[in-house]
Amino acid sequence: MYYSDLLPQFNSKKEIKKQFRKPKTLPVLEENIPDELKQLNQWVCWAWRWTDGEWKKIPINPFTGEFAATDNPATWSSFEKAWTRYSNPNRTLDGIGFVFAGTDLTGADFDQCRFTDGSVRAGEEELVDSFGSYAELSPSGGGYKVICRVSPALSEAYQNKCGDYEQYQTTRFFCVTGHVLGTKSIVTADDAFRRFAESKLKPRIVKTEAETAPITEEADQTMPEDEFSWRFSQAMDDGKFVTLFNTTPSDHTGYPSASECVAALVSKIKFWFGNDFAAADKVFRQSSLFAEHWIGKWERLGQDEFTAAACEKTYTLPTGWRLRMYEAKIDGLLKSKVKIDERSLDTLAANEKIEAYESKLKEIEVALNDKVRAGVKTMYTIEDLLQLPDPTFLVDDHLPEGSFAVVCGSPGSYKSFWAVDLGLCIATGSPFMDCWETKQGQVLYMAGEGFAGFKGRSIAWCKSKNNGQYPKNFVFRPGRLDLCCPKRSGIITILEECLKNNINHPTLIVVDTKARFFTGNENDGEDTGRFVEAIDKIREATGAAVLIVDHTPKYIKTIARGHSALMGAADVIFNMVREEGKPLVEIHNTKMKDANELTSYTLRSHEILVAPEHPKLKLQFSLVLNHTSEQVVSQEDKDKMRSAYLSFKTGDTIDQAFQKWGEDKGSKPTFRRLVDKLLEREAIRYLEEGTGRKPSTYQVVEFV
């Protein structure tokens, strides 16, 4: 198998990591992994994650599914546990990995040595073979990995990474594929490793106390520490500065002598740190060039070298650098990058920006915790619980006050029509579907998609159910927001806009749809947890109930799409099922945390003329929903579905079940349509989806 078979359109690791789609990955071949490694409890799973603008391999704890740490053995597992987690058919993982724990087990990594045309970089295969130990293809198929035994002293003598080559013996993990190149044995390979390290890596420089000494007392550092930190962080983004900073005197990176290399580095330092010799002295003492004969030479000539450095101009601090640095510190705690919106604060000076930003954070903290500050009870005895009032409903049997609700359905199931109807009934205080009483209050409808369509829907509802009167306490907010942002910018935006528009006490906030307010991976537990936390913060700050409108997965029509943490956090869940082309829709209440679940009911859609003056408009008509006693599925259809259901047993294909069902009951296309309906109602599920000539198999669940 060539690298070209996997990724024909990419030539480099950088291009692969920058692509929009998740990189393709070789499947793990468990039978080829050495038993010696399988016996160690040093295994993790891993998954591709889009981080800092590129795809990265993130270690995953096989027990919890959370992030693993290569320096925390509590997040590792046995091979069997990692393999079980990875091989789960519903997994979102991309492979398994082995953690190097500081023994003589060593990993050597050869990156980007296999190309899309099937060729291999000259000498790489021979170098890999010289180890005589276990070697395999990397997950992308574009490189090689070798696992062998090397004495710790020898491994410690060389740097971990140099260009496309790496070596590790501790606190790192290797993605293991099992696509073995030769032997499955792991052997001691000191000689081969030494040849590899001498030709591909750099020796590790161990600095003495003199080399790492602080700035001399004579050199007063006039530059403030925060400015020094900012300038140093910017310098480390300069590729040439980094190369010179990490160069050793014996290497001197393309310069005729170490002295000329030092002169080049000092010129770069002068550009980034200006004429402040104390700052320059501090930087140079941390560089790899401050070694050997330059230790004493710098003490004598440092000031002269700095004065003579050829530097035509110096780095100018950008406006607002203190704010950027302040926010970067916050993000260091939040483990996320910050994107600064300078435009919103461009009238303030740098120090005022810092104060404004800090003040806003404090304001939102106060707003989100006002109930605790007001003395609301936070702990209860059993007697206290008995004194608590029963839940009160915004909409009888549907929506408790202040609750977290989800309505989900496939596209075209009228879930947005249902949510608009619910919100308008609350805004007007009219009975929902003429059946359930409501408590009147303000409603905020956050329309993240299809905003143009809400005009017709609102007019149709008001004409049909409110005598053409338009309620003033029902407000739409178009456009998406990021509710997963660690800085809580989405929460701040919502609360600020509510205050500006006099929505001081909303009783219901509708988020339509989740996908437009959710950044990140909706199948990831951590990302979903941030979204749920944002919803809880909004509820705490406003006292409103929040209704999330969400889609269902392709083959399962009874749950919301994404990680189960959303369904677990919700107080109320409704599921809407509609057969394509039919006017009837079923509403199923699948969760009601603090009350009895509502009996399923049916709604019928009716067309309402909303724009008679524009007969050519697509939105000339819109729909309203009304309660009906009609059944979506007739008794005859239910009997057919039950007979089709009874013909299945777990592991059957459609052909096997059809033979049991019998042709006298109907044709095979009829049977397939019944199977589709059973899948929609989750009476059966896919056990294994078919690929190519292999047919799908099914799992029997429960027919309701």
Task: List, for residues 458-471, the tens digit of each pLDDT value.
Answer: 888 998 898 889 99
* DSSP string for 67-91: B--TT-GGG-B-HHHHHHHHH-TT-
Quick one: the chain helix, strand, coil %, rounded to 5? 35, 20, 40
Nearest to 47 by CA among 30, 63, 66: 66
| Residue partners of 439: CB distance under 8 A and separation at least 6 | 392, 393, 394, 395, 401, 426, 429, 507
615 or 601, which is more confident = 601
- DSSP label at residue 276: -
For residue 158, the Cα-to-chain-centroid distance in whole angstroms is: 35
Does 659 have pLDDT greater than 90? no
Going by pLDDT thresholds of 50, 70 and 90, the confidence category of residue 600 is: confident
Backbone φ and ψ for 254, nearest 5 degrees, come out as 80, 0
Does 264 have pLDDT greater than 60? yes
pLDDT at 160: 85
Q: Are 573 and 589 in contact (CB under 8 A)?
A: yes
Q: Quick one: tokens of 490?
A: 């989405």
**Taking the CA atoms of the chain, what radius of gyration do you get in angstroms?**
32
Q: What span, in angstroms and rounded, lies between the C-alpha atoms of 93 and 422?
A: 39
Does 265 have pLDDT greater than 70? yes
Going by pLDDT thresholds of 50, 70 and 90, the confidence category of residue 324 is: low
Does 231 have pLDDT greater than 60? yes
Q: Are 426 and 592 in contact (CB under 8 A)?
A: no
Q: Are 279 and 215 in contact (CB under 8 A)?
A: no
| Residue partners of 574: CB distance under 8 A and separation at least 6 | 398, 405, 406, 407, 408, 418, 587, 588, 589, 590
Q: Please, what sign has the CA dihedral across residues 109, 112, 113, 115?
A: positive
pLDDT at 555: 64
Q: Are 134 and 184 in contact (CB under 8 A)?
A: yes
143 or 220, which is more confident = 143
Nearest to 400 by CA among 597, 643, 609: 597
The percent of residues above 90 in pLDDT, for the chain, comes to: 25
- 409: helix, strand or coil: strand
- 166: helix, strand or coil: strand
170 preceded by cis ω (within 30°)?
A: no
Q: What span, in angstroms and rounded, lies between the C-alpha atoms of 76 and 71?
A: 10
Nearest to 440 by CA among 473, 489, 397: 473
Q: What span, in angstroms and rounded, lies between the C-alpha atoms of 593 and 206?
A: 62
For residue 665, the Cα-to-chain-centroid distance in whole angstroms is: 49
333 or 570, which is more confident = 570
pLDDT at 376: 53
For residue 546, the Cα-to-chain-centroid distance in whole angstroms is: 23
Q: Quick one: tokens of 115?
A: 């190309």
Q: What span, in angstroms and rounded, lies between the C-alpha atoms of 346 and 443?
A: 34
